[in-house]
């Protein structure tokens, strides 16, 4: 049986990024950029005030205060029309362009408008002993210059990049599109969550859970409904699922009499890359590739137990979806941490036990949560990580250092 690391290598070796497409920036959140983006403007486009205040000649305040004539008011969006000479000031709102002649801005908090004599000019008393040229001014092109490359291929587009793309005038970009992920839970015992399960039945948690997990990774989920343990029905639904970039099945991959999934996949010409991985929970995991009209479709047969399904999704399916999306990271974030409490492990496979990371006196500690195995989703709710206990019967003392995979 192959190890988790080897299985992940084999999955990633078959997951090639999808070709980039022109995408509206408004729809590009979470996608990976596939081009170099340059700015078509200087930012800021002019010398601008970074505060509400008065544009002045700094030398006027050499004595610590000055009474100046207010010659104009410039709100954001307007442009100054008058030159500021010594003895004068222009009232500016944040972001307004600096008028010619002025070389500093005194903030409004340090200004006092003086009573205006009838028909007289408006005057203001400004205070500030340290007013230097350039104060409260952001010079044209300080943050970026026209023609400058601001983002490159491979960059993940978060909210900040969406804002930056808009700042440099882009409404469309070349980006790697979302992949489609079809989800097909299988099993005669499955009933919809609205039903109360009768004897022998169980609610279908995996379907909605895996659709949600796919959406969470930025893929476009495709709901194939539920497949009965019947070769003809499975064949029909799997064929439908192969229209997607990734097909995720759950159940039917172990050694039971109704575990038909590997057989049906083989009949449909899906190439098996591996079946079974040395881990707990998740040993029966099946992975293969189908070539459909020249495109490699990734097919995962996840074990039916919900925790096994979700753990396999995090360890293998999620990294594959991220790779299709053009992201370079290799699987879940890994770290090591000291065990917070003594733990007895038994088993001939490494166990990925749901756990919580918490700060301790010597860095992060990991605490296994109470968990009753691969059917116990409630245990997993408390976890934000998986702690890996190596194969073998052994007592791990508090303080021993173990590998930890972070869940998202
Ligand atoms: P299987 O891998 O098909 O042998 O299923 C293993 C266990 O997982 C059985 O107890 C199933 O009832 C359960 N199971 C399978 N599919 C689902 C599902 N979609 N939701 C919840 N439990 C499931
Ligand atoms: Mg089954």
With a cut of 90, say whether residue 117 has pLDDT above it: no
Mean pLDDT calculated for residue range 330-344: 94
pLDDT grade, residue 237 (50/70/90)? very high
With a cut of 90, say whether residue 108 has pLDDT above it: yes
Task: Tell me how crowded residue 182 is: count the other CB atoms within 10 A of its CB.
Answer: 27
- What's the gap in Å between 6 CA and the centre of ligand 1? 26
Q: How are beta strands 334-339 and 363-368 bridged, if at all? A: parallel
With a cut of 90, say whether residue 381 has pLDDT above it: yes
Mean pLDDT calculated for residue range 287-302: 96
| pLDDT reported for residue 2 | 98
| pLDDT reported for residue 119 | 80
The Cα-based distances of 185 to 59, 79, 282, 315 in angstroms read: 76, 63, 15, 19
Cβ-count burial 259-294 (b if 16+ within 10 Å, e if not): bbbbebbeeeebeebebbbbbbbbbbbbbbbbeeee
Q: Tell whether ligand 1 has an atom less than 6 A from the beta carbon of residue 326.
A: no
* Residues, beta carbon < 5 Å, ion ligand 2: 187, 251-252, 304
- What's the gap in Å between 301 CA and the centre of ligand 2? 11
pLDDT grade, residue 302 (50/70/90)? very high
Mean pLDDT calculated for residue range 107-123: 91
Pocket perturbation via mutation, ligand 1, pick of 223, 229, 251 by most ligand atoms within 8 A of CB = 251
Q: Tell whether ligand 1 has an atom less than 6 A from the beta carbon of residue 43.
A: no
What percentage of the chain carries pLDDT values higher than 70?
Answer: 100
| pLDDT reported for residue 129 | 80
Please give the Cα distance from 56 to 123 (Å, whole number): 13
Look over the chain and give the mean of its residue pLDDT values, rounded to a whole number.
96
Ligand nearest to the CA of 229: 2
With a cut of 90, say whether residue 236 has pLDDT above it: yes
| Closest residue by Cα to residue 86 from 74, 111, 103, 72 | 103
Please give the Cα distance from 182 to 298 (Å, whole number): 10
Alpha helices in 46-173 (DSSP H): 159-167
Please give the Cα distance from 92 to 108 (Å, whole number): 9
| Closest residue by Cα to residue 29 from 132, 123, 157, 189 | 157
């Amino acid at each position: 049986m192959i190890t988790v690391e080897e299985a992940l290598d084999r999955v990633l070796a078959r997951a090639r990024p999808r070709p980039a497409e022109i995408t509206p920036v408004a729809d590009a959140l979470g996608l990976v950029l596939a081009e170099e983006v340059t700015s078509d403007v200087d930012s800021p486009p002019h010398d601008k005030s970074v505060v509400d205040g008065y544009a002045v000649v700094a030398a006027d305040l050499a004595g610590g205060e000055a009474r100046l004539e207010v010659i104009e008011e410039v709100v954001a969006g307007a442009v100054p029309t008058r030159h500021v000479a010594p003895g004068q000031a222009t009232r500016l709102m944040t972001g307004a362009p600096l008028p010619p002649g002025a070389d500093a801005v005194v903030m409004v908090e340090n200004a006092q408008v003086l009573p205006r004599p009838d028909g007289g000019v408006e005057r203001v008393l400004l205070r500030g002993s340290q007013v230097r040229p350039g104060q409260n001014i952001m010079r044209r092109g300080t943050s970026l210059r026209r023609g400058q490359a601001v983002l490159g291929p491979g960059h993940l587009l978060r909210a900040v990049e969406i804002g930056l793309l808009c700042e440099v005038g882009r409404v469309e970009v070349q980006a790697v599109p979302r992949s489609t992920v079809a989800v097909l839970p299988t099993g005669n015992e499955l009933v919809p969550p609205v039903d109360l399960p009768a004897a022998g039945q169980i609610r279908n948690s995996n379907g909605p859970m895996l659709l949600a997990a796919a959406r969470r990774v930025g893929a476009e989920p495709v709901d194939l409904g539920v497949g009965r343990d019947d070769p003809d029905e499975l064949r029909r639904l799997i064929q439908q699922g192969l229209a997607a970039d990734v097909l995720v099945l759950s159940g039917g991959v172990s050694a039971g009499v109704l575990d038909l999934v590997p057989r049906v996949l083989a009949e449909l010409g899906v190439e098996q890359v591996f079946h079974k991985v040395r881990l707990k929970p998740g040993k029966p995991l099946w992975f293969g590739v189908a070539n459909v009209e020249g495109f490699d479709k990734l097919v995962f047969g996840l074990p039916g137990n919900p925790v096994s399904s979700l753990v396999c999704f995090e360890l293998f399916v999620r990294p594959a979806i991220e790779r299709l999306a053009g992201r370079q990271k290799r699987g879940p974030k890994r770290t090591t941490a000291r065990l917070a409490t003594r733990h007895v492990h038994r088993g001939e496979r490494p166990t990925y036990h749901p756990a919580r990371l918490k700060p301790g006196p010597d860095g992060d500690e990991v605490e296994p949560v109470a968990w009753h195995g691969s059917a116990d989703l409630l245990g997993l709710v408390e976890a934000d990580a998986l702690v890996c206990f190596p194969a073998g019967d052994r007592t791990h003392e508090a303080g021993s250092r173990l590998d930890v995979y972070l869940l998202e």
